[in-house]
Structure 1
Amino acid sequence: MKYPVLFILSLLIIAATFFLTPDQKKDPAPYAIVIHGGAGSAKPDMTNEEKQAHISGLDKALSAGYQMLGEGKDAVSVVEAVIRILEDDSLFNAGRGAVLTTEGFASHDASIMNGKDLSAGAVGDVRRIKNPISLARMVMEKSNHVLLVGDGAEKFAEKQGVGFVPPEYFITDDQKATLKKKLDQINKAGTVGCVVLDKSGNLAAGTSTGGMTGKLPGRLGDAPIIGAGTYANNATCAVSATGWGEKFIKNAVAFRISALMEYKGYNLKQAVKEVLDKNLSPKDGGVIAIDRGGNFEMYYTTPSMFRGVMTSDGIKEIKIWE
C-alpha cells in the first residue's frame, strides 16, 4: 500500500465515530412552540363540551405548528400559520368571532416579530381582512414601516393582493348577544398568540385580537404594539401577551421581560415573574414566552389562560385553569 499511515489513521477516525458516548454526540437542535388563546376569558360555568371545544381548537393549531417546526420551517412562518388557524376559529377573540365595538362591528389588531433581526410588522383597526396576522407580516416584509392602521392598512392590503371579506363575516350570534348586554368589562379576552423557537435557533412571536367588548371605534390595545403585546429577540426571548391592553402598553410588558434578561442577566422564569408580579393586578392578563434554549413560560395573573406547549424533547400540555 502506498500510504499505509494515512490509511490506518482514516480507519481509526471512522471507528472512533462508532464509540462516541451520548454526551459526545451532538444533540439535535431543540425546537418548541407555545400558544395562548386568551387570559381571563374562561367562564367559571363552562360546560365540558365547551371546554373540549377550546382544547381541540388549541390542539389543532399547536399540532400544526409543531409539525412545521419538525419539517424545518422557520419561526416566522410557523407563527403566522398557527395564528391564522386560531383567527379562523370563532371560539377565540381574533378574526372570525372577534368581539364587537360599541358600533357593532369587529375591529382587528395583530403583530409579528422576527427575533433574528428585530424586524416587525403590525396592523390596527382593520375591519375587512380575514387574517390580520398575514397582513402584519406583509407590513414587516414589504414596507418600510412597522405599524399601519385603519384605512391605510387596508389600502396597503389591496396593493398586496390580500383577500377581503365583508364585515359581516366576523360577526357571530354570540358576539351580538354579548354586545347587547352592554358589558362594561372584558367578557371575551380570547386574544391569540404564538411564540416559537425553530431548529435554526431563531425566535419569533405574534399576537392577534379583536380587542375589548364594546371598545370605542379606533381603540388600539397592546396586540399591535411592539414591546407591549409582542416582542422577539434571539439574544433573549420571544413574548406574546394577552389581557387588558392598556396595562400592557403602560408597562411595556413584552419588552421589559426581554430587557431584564439582556441587561440584568435574569433567566426567563425570573424575568416573566418579576414583570407580571410587579406590574399587573390579579385580573390583568398573562404572557407566553420562550428563550433560545427552549425554556418556556406560561404565566398569568387571571384565574385562567387558554394555553398550550409542544417541545422537541417530548413535552405537550394544553391547559385552561391548572
Structure 2
Amino acid sequence: MKLKFSYCFVVLLLCTCLTTYAQQKYVMVIHGGAGTILKKNMTPEKEAAYTAALTLALQKGYELIKAGKTSLDAVEAAIHVLEDSPLFNAGKGAVFTHDGRNEMDAAIMDGKTLMAGAVAGVTVIRNPISAARAVMEKSEHVMMVGPGAEAFAKQAGLTIVDPKYFFTEERWKGLQEAIKEDSVKAVLDHGSKKSMKLGTINRDYKFGTVGAVALDHMGNLAAGTSTGGMTNKKYGRVGDSPIIGAGTYANNETAGISCTGWGEFYIRNVVAHDISAMMEYKKMSVSDASKAVLDKVGKMGGDGGLIAMDRKGNVAMPFNTEGMYRGTVTAEGKIEIQIYK
C-alpha cells in the first residue's frame, strides 16, 4: 500500500512539474543571427563572449520590463547591447559592402497600435534601432533611407558617429575573403533563375541580424530587428530586416516576430506577417505557425531562422541552419542562452 501511495505521489509530482514547465511565461526572446555556427569551430573564449553579450541584452530588457517600462523600451535596450557589440552583424559589428562601407537597416513595431518605424542604408547612426523608433514616434512615415534617414536621426537627437566607428578588422577580412570567392555575390537579378541558384551566394557571408521581441506588464508586444546586411553586397541592396511584415512584425492579437536569414526569401514569403496571419485565421499556435512558414522558406531554397512570442508569453525559435544565437528570459528572470542545434 505504501509503495502504491509513493508511486502515485511521484506521478502526481511529475505531472505538476511538467504542467508548470509547460506554462512557463517568457517576457523576452532575442536572437543574434543564424548560419553555419558549429561548436567545433568555436573557441571556449568566443562562445563565452557570445553568451555574455546575449545575457547582458536580456538583462537590460528584463530590468526595464520588471520596472514597468514598455515592451518597446525593452526591445530597444536589448538591441542596443547587440548593436554595440562587434560580435554581431549590426551596429558596431556590421559587415562591409562591396564598396567598403557599412550600411545598416533596422525596424521596430508596436503590437498595441501597429505603429512601426524603419531605416535602411544608414552609415553614421550608432544605433539604427533607435532611429527606427524615432521614425515611428516622431514622424508620419514608416521608413526612411540613406542620407534622409541620417538627417532625421540627427534632428531627433540620436548619436551620430564617424563611419570609422563601425570598422572592425574581422569584418574587413571577411569582405576581402568574400571578394576573392566567385560564389560570394550579392546578385539582385531576381528575374533570372540562374541568379537564385543555391550557392550563388555563400551562406557564410550573408547571415547576421539581431532582434528582440518583448511582452510587457500591460500585455503589449513589441518586436525589433537590426542588421548590417550582407557581406560584399552591391547596388544599395536592402534585405528583409527593415521591411514590416517580412523581417519584423508585432500584433497584440497574435505575436511579435523578428527574423534572420536569407532576406530575399523572407521578403518573398512575407514571413513575419504570414506567421501572424496563420495564427489569426487558422488559429495555429505560435510554434506551429513559425515552423510552417519557415518550412515554406526552406522549400524555396532559403534558410535562416526567427524568434516569435505570442501574447501569452509562449516562445518559438525555429531555424534550419547549423545554429542560431538565441536566448530567453522568463517572467521570473530566468535566462537561457542557446547557440547550436
TM band (smaller chain): 0.7 to 0.9
Contact 2:286–2:314 (CA under 8 A) maintained in structure 1: yes
Which of 76, 95, 102 is equivalent to 1:99? 95
Alignment correspondent of 2:117: 121
Residues 259 and 57 (structure 1), Cα distance of their counterparts in 2 relative to 1, 3 Å cut: same
The Cα shift of 1:64 comes to: 1.4
Residues 36-115 of structure 1: pairs in structure 2 closer than 5 A: 36-43=31-38, 44-115=40-111
Contact 1:290–1:296 (CA under 8 A) maintained in structure 2: yes
The Cα shift of 1:31 comes to: 5.4
Q: Could you give the per-residue CA deviations for residues 139-198 of structure 1, whole angstroms, max 9, x where no partner exists?
A: 000011101001111121122122211111101011111111125124352310000111
Contact 1:34–1:310 (CA under 8 A) maintained in structure 2: yes
Alignment correspondent of 1:180: 176
Alignment correspondent of 2:190: none
The runs of 5 or more residues in structure 1 that have no matched partner are: 1-28
Distance 1:50 1:235 in 2: 39
Which of 285, 291, 304 is equivalent to 2:310? 291
Residues 271-286 of structure 1: pairs in structure 2 closer than 5 A: 271-280=289-298, 284-286=303-305
After the TM superposition, which of the residue ranges 276-285 and 266-275 deviates more from structure 2?
Answer: 276-285
Distance 1:272 1:30 in 2: 18
2:215 partner amino acid: L
Q: Could you give the per-residue CA deviations for residues 98-118 of structure 1, whole angstroms, max 9, x where no partner exists?
A: 100000110000000000010
Aligned residue for 1:187, secondary structure, equals: helix
Contact 1:100–1:106 (CA under 8 A) maintained in structure 2: yes
Aligned residue for 2:136, secondary structure, equals: helix
Which of 149, 156, 163 is equivalent to 2:152? 156
Alignment correspondent of 2:225: 207
Structure 1 residue 216 and structure 2 residue 214: aligned? Answer: no
Residues 17-32 of structure 1: pairs in structure 2 closer than 5 A: 32=27
Structure 1 residue 250 and structure 2 residue 268: aligned? Answer: yes
Name whichever structure is richer in helix by fraction: 2
Aligned residue for 2:120, secondary structure, equals: strand
Structure 1 residue 301 and structure 2 residue 320: aligned? Answer: yes
Structure 1 residue 311 and structure 2 residue 306: aligned? Answer: no
Identity across the alignment (%): 53
Aligned residue for 1:84, secondary structure, equals: helix
Contact 1:122–1:139 (CA under 8 A) maintained in structure 2: yes
Distance 1:242 1:152 in 2: 26
Aligned residue for 1:177, secondary structure, equals: helix
The Cα shift of 1:30 comes to: 5.6
TM-score by length of 1: 0.88
Q: RMSD between aligned alpha carbons?
A: 1.6
Q: Could you give the per-residue CA deviations for residues 45-86 of structure 1, whole angstroms, max 9, x where no partner exists?
A: 111111111111101111111121111110001101110110
Aligned residue for 1:37, secondary structure, equals: strand
The Cα shift of 1:208 comes to: 0.1
Alignment correspondent of 2:286: 268
**Aligned residues between the structures:** 294
Structure 1 residue 191 and structure 2 residue 186: aligned? Answer: no
The Cα shift of 1:279 comes to: 2.4
**Superposition misfits of 4+ residues, deviation over 4 angstroms:** none
Contact 2:208–2:227 (CA under 8 A) maintained in structure 1: yes
Contact 1:31–1:69 (CA under 8 A) maintained in structure 2: no
The structure whose Rg is larger is 1
Contact 1:122–1:146 (CA under 8 A) maintained in structure 2: yes
The runs of 5 or more residues in structure 2 that have no matched partner are: 1-23, 185-201
Distance 1:42 1:64 in 2: 25
The Cα shift of 1:97 comes to: 1.7
1:261 partner amino acid: M
Alignment correspondent of 2:196: none
After the TM superposition, which of the residue ranges 66-75 and 299-308 deviates more from structure 2?
Answer: 66-75
